[in-house]
Amino acid sequence: MQTDASTESDDTLYIDAISSALADEMRADPTVVLMGQDIAGHGGAFKITRGFLEEFGDQRVRNTPIAESGTIGIAIGSSMLGIKPVIEMQFADFISCGFNQVVNVAAKMYWRTKQSVPLVIRLPAGGGMGAGTFHSQNIENWFLHTPGLKVVSPAYSNDAYRLLRAAIRDPNPVLYFEHKFLYRRERSPIQKQPVRDRILGESTILRSGTDITTVSWGWMTHRTLEAAEVLAQEGIEVEVIDLPVLSPLDHRGIIASVEKTQRAAIIHEATCTGGFGAEIAARICDEAIWSLDAPVRRIAYPDSPPPFHKGLEASRIPSPERICSELRQLLDA
Amino acid sequence: MDQLKSLREMHAYMRLAREWDLRFEKMFRTGALSKWYSSVGNEATTVASASAIEAGDSLLTLHRDSGAILRHYLDINELLPGILPQDPVIREPMGGDSQQRFLRLACQMLGRENGFSSGHERSYHYNLFEEQWGLFHIGMISHLGSMIPVAAGTAFAFQQQGGDRVAINFIGEGATSTGDFHEALNIAAVWKLPFILVIENNRWAFSTPTSQQYACDHLSDRALGYGIPGVQVDGNDAEAVLAVMQTAVARARSGAGPTLVEAMLGRHRGHSEGDDSLQQVPEADLIQYGEEDPLDLAEKRLIDSGVFSRAWIDEVKERCASLMIKTVDQAASMPEPDVHQARSLYAD
C-alpha cells in the first residue's frame, strides 16, 4: 500500500494509484467503507485492496456475498445515513446484476427526493487480455444514458488517483471505470494534492494539432497518442483530447478544437451502435457543423460481444494502425 | 388495562389512517386525483409496526402503509387535541411540527408545490428526512422489492455508527419473489443487521393469488433458510402485530440481527383504485376479508372491554373524518408546482 507521506510521487502504476487513493481517502474519512466480493482477506481479484483488512479492519472492509443488487442497494441505503460506501465490482460486467439499483434507485434519488447518494462503484473494465466475453466489456454507455449518475474513465495514474478521491467526496453516485489493461502497464507520476471534492466535466488536450481532433478515454487514449506519433512523422498533426470524465460531459473543449481542426474522430473501445461516440458526434454536429470539412468519424469496437481468442479480440479493438488508417481517410475525405 | 390503553392509542392512529384513505379514494372517484393506491385493510399491521419503533429509526414504506407514516410522523394530539391522554402508552410521538408535516403530506399526495417532492413524484414515492427530530423515512420506487436492500443499508449505517437504531421495511407478498428479497435478507442475516422486514401478505399481488406466487406454506418459513427468526402473525390484530414487532425490534437493537415478519391480511381494494383486479378475488374471500377488517376488530375489543363506548368510537371517527376534509381541502387550495422550474440532477 502507498503511504500519504509525500504529495508528489515517482512513477506510479495505475493500479497502485487506485489503491493509494482508496487508502488515503479511508485514512482521511472514517465513514468510508469498502464492500465487494473477495476484497477483504484476499485483497480483491486484482489485489487492489491487499493489506486493507489489516489496516482498516473488517468493519470497514466488507466481503459481500455474491449479490450485486443487494450490495449496491445496501450501499445506497447506508450512504443516505452518513456512510460513504465504495463498492468494488469484481468485473465491470457484473454490474448488470445490480442494474436496477444503479439506474432507478441511486441515479434518480436526488432528483426525486433531494437526498444525496454519495456512492462510488469501481468497475474494472475493458479487454485486451483474452479474458472472454464476460470479463472484457466496456459498458460505460449503459450508464451515460441515465441522468443522475457521474461517470469517470481515467487513462493515467494521476487521473486515477485524483478522480477516485474526488469521486468518494462527491455527494452523488459515481461510476468509476478503471481499465484492466492499464493496471500494470500505465505508469506515470501522481500528484496527491490538492484533493478536489467534486467530479466536474473536464477534457484534456494531450497533444496539440491542427489537422484532426480526436476524442477518446481510458486505454484508447494511449492508442490514439501512439497513432498521433506515427501520423506526425507523415506531417499530419492530430489534436488528441482525453475525457477523464464522461458524465457530466464538458464538450466545450471538443467544440473549440474542432472549430480549429475542422475534422473530428471519436475513438472508443465500447461497441459502436448507440455508443458515446454517437453522442459526441451529435454535439459536434449541433454546435460546429459549419466548421467541418469531413464527416465526423467513429472508430469503435464492432457490434459484437468480446471474443475469447486473443487474435479475435485484437482484431476488434481499435489498434494504433487502424486509428492511423481511419484518420488518414478522414483527411482525404 | 394497560393493554387496553395500548389498543386505544393504536386505534386512534388506525382510524386516522382509514379516514385518510377514504378521503383520497373519494377524491380519486371525483377525478380530483389521477391515481390512488389504498391502504384500507393494512392499518393494524402498519400502525402497530410503526408503534414498535421510535425517533432515530428508519422507516421504508410501500403504497399501502399510510398507517405507518401517520403513526411515525405525527402526534395525533397535536392534530386532534385531547383525542388521547397526554402520556403515550406505547411510544413517544415524533417531535417537531405535526400540523405542518400533515399538511405537506396531503400536498405530496395532491402533487402540490408544498409536497415533499414539489409535484415531481407520486404519492408515497418521496423521502422525508428531518434529522433534528430523528425522522428518516424513505419511500418506494415502483419496482417492488427494490427497497429491501436499501432498507437493510440504512440498518448497515446504524450498525457502523454504533448505538441501537433499527430499520423497518414493508413489502407485499409479491415482492418476496424478487431477487432483491433474497439478496438483502441474506446479507442482512450474514452481517446481523438491525433490520425487520414486514411482509404484508394480502394474498393478491395485483391480480395474482399466492398459489401462483409461491409454493411454500408460509413465507415466514423462508427465514429458516437465512438463519434468522421468521414469524407469521394475524395482520388484522394490532395487538398481536405489536407484540411480534416489539420482540423483533428488541432483537435488532440487541445486535442479534434481522427478523422476517409475515402479517396475514386481506385484500380490500384494487391494486390501484379504479382498476378491476378485485374481479379475480372470489366473492367469498372478499366477504371474509371484510369481516376481518382490522378497524372493526380493534373497535369491538375496545367496546367489549366495557371501558369504551360506541359513542366514543364514533366521536374519534367523526373527528378524524372532519380533519381529513379540512386538511385535504386546504392542501388542494395550495399552489401547484411551476411547470417551468428546473430541478437539479446532482447534489451540490
Q: Residue B55's pLDDT is what?
A: 98
Q: What whole-number distance in Å separates Cα of residue A36 and Cα of residue A39?
A: 6
Q: What whole-number distance in Å separates Cα of residue B323 and Cα of residue B325?
A: 6
Please answer yes or no on whether A115 and B129 come within 8 Å at the CB atom: yes
Size of interface A-B (CB pairs under 8 A): 140
- Among candidate residues B165, B189, B198, the one with its CA nearest the CA of residue B53: B165
Q: Residue B3's pLDDT is what?
A: 86
Grid cell for residue A196: 478536489
What pLDDT band is residue A203 in, cutting at 50, 70 and 90? very high
Per-residue pLDDT for A13 more than 50? yes
Q: Which residue is it, cell 409461491?
A: B214
| Number of helices (H), then strands (E), in chain A | 12, 14
Predicted confidence (pLDDT) per residue in A21-63, tens digit: 999 999 999 999 999 999 999 999 999 999 999 999 999 999 9
Q: Which residue is it, cell 422486514?
A: B197
Q: What whole-number distance in Å separates Cα of residue B114 and Cα of residue B110?
A: 10
Please answer yes or no on whether A112 and B129 come within 8 Å at the CB atom: no
Chain B contact set for A174 (CB, 8 A): none
Q: How far is CA B50 from CA A165, B73, B246, B247, in A?
A: 39, 10, 10, 13
- Tell me phi and psi for residue A240, to 5 degrees: -100, 115
Q: What whole-number distance in Å separates Cα of residue B135 and Cα of residue B126?
A: 13
- Report the predicted TM-score, pTM, of the whole model to 2 decimal places: 0.97
Please answer yes or no on whether B141 and A150 come within 8 Å at the CB atom: no
Give the strands of the sheet with A120-125, arranged side by side. Answer: A61-63, A32-36, A84-88, A120-125, A174-179, A150-152, A245-247
Please answer yes or no on whether A77 and B346 come within 8 Å at the CB atom: no
What average pLDDT does range A263-283 have in this prediction?
A: 98
What pLDDT band is residue A2 in, cutting at 50, 70 and 90? very low
Q: What percent of chain A has pLDDT over 90?
A: 96
Predicted confidence (pLDDT) per residue in A65-81, tens digit: 999 999 999 999 999 99
Chain B contact set for A147 (CB, 8 A): 345
Grid cell for residue A43: 485483497
- How close does chain A come to B118, measured CA to CA in Å? 9
- Tell me phi and psi for residue B343, to 5 degrees: -130, 125
Q: Residue A248's pLDDT is what?
A: 98
* Pick among A102, A113, A245 to test the B interface (most B CBs inside 10 A): A113
**Residues of B at the A interface (Cβ-Cβ below 8 Å)?**
58, 116-117, 120-121, 125-127, 129, 136, 138-139, 141, 143, 146-158, 160-161, 167, 179-180, 182-184, 186-187, 190-191, 343-348
What average pLDDT does range A314-326 have in this prediction?
A: 98
Q: What percent of chain A has pLDDT over 70?
A: 97
Q: Residue A333's pLDDT is what?
A: 76
Mean per-residue pLDDT over chain A, rounded: 96
Residues in chain A: 333
User: Could you tell me the end-to-end alpha-carbon distance of chain A, in angstroms, rounded to an integer?
Assistant: 51
Q: Residue A10's pLDDT is what?
A: 80
Residue spans of beta strands (DSSP E) within chain A: 8-13, 32-36, 61-63, 84-88, 120-125, 150-152, 174-179, 187-191, 204-207, 212-216, 238-242, 245-247, 264-271, 297-301
- How close does chain A come to B148, measured CA to CA in Å? 8
Per-residue pLDDT for A4 more than 80? no
Grid cell for residue A67: 449479490
Please compute, for residue B81, the number of CA atoms within 13 A of its CA located in the half-sphere on the CB side.
0
Query: Going from the N-terminus, what domains does chain B have, and what CATH number goes with each?
Result: 2-332 (3.40.50.970)
- How close does chain A come to B176, measured CA to CA in Å? 14
Grid cell for residue A55: 489496516
- Among candidate residues A229, A217, A243, the one with its CA nearest the CA of residue A300: A217
Query: Going from the N-terminus, what domains does chain A have, and what CATH number goes with each?
Result: 11-191 (3.40.50.970), 204-332 (3.40.50.920)
Q: Residue A7's pLDDT is what?
A: 56
| Cα A67 from chain centroid (whole Å) | 23
Please answer yes or no on whether B154 and A78 come within 8 Å at the CB atom: yes
What pLDDT band is residue A5 in, cutting at 50, 70 and 90? very low
Chain A contact set for B136 (CB, 8 A): 81
Tens digit of each residue's pLDDT, chain B (348 residues): 788 999 999 999 999 999 999 999 999 999 999 999 999 999 999 999 999 999 999 999 999 999 999 999 999 999 999 999 999 999 999 999 999 999 999 999 999 999 999 999 999 999 999 999 999 999 999 999 999 999 999 999 999 999 999 999 999 999 999 999 999 999 999 999 999 999 999 999 999 999 999 999 999 999 999 999 999 999 999 999 999 999 999 999 999 999 999 999 999 999 999 999 999 999 999 999 999 999 999 999 999 999 999 999 999 999 999 999 999 999 999 999 999 988 999 999
3-class DSSP assignment, residue B337: coil
Q: Residue A3's pLDDT is what?
A: 47
Grid cell for residue B68: 405507518
